[in-house]
Amino acid sequence: MRGNYVNKLCKLLSKLKDLSLLIMGMLLLHRCIQKLKKKIRNKARVEAAMVEAFLVEEVTNNLSLYFKSTAPSIRNKIPRYDDGASTFQATCDLEIFKCSGRCISPRGIRDLSNEEYKVAFLYILTNMPEMEDFFM
């Protein structure tokens, strides 16, 4: 009796697993269709326009494989907020200036007040490995 119950439970679980896979597939298909619907240009022939949009997307994705690696495409997008910090080459020999950083101020660059300048200068001097001999 108990073995029959376990078999029924296993069959039910496998059906639920299949059902969940089916639902996930339907959701993915629905998202794909929604994307294609946004790209439709010819409202009179919706199905043909969806097929055309799909083909255009597939062709451009496949052709982008043959572009140079520097050409912008869906496969190698340029970062949205690229300010060049990732390709920054330090020209200074001091260790503290070799790490790259990004400006986090919404206004960009600004002048420091006298007090801020002194604090920044002291921070730089106390955190430089080259200055350790002078502070010991």
pLDDT tens per residue across span 71-118: 777 666 666 665 555 565 667 777 776 766 665 666 667 788 899 989
Residue/partner pairs of 95-103 with CB below 8 Å, 24 or more apart:
95/128, 95/129, 95/130, 96/124, 96/127, 96/128, 96/129
Nearest Cα to Cα of residue 69 among 82, 78, 60: 78
Nearest Cα to Cα of residue 66 among 57, 75, 77: 75
Total-model pTM: 0.39
Amino acid identity at 63 = L
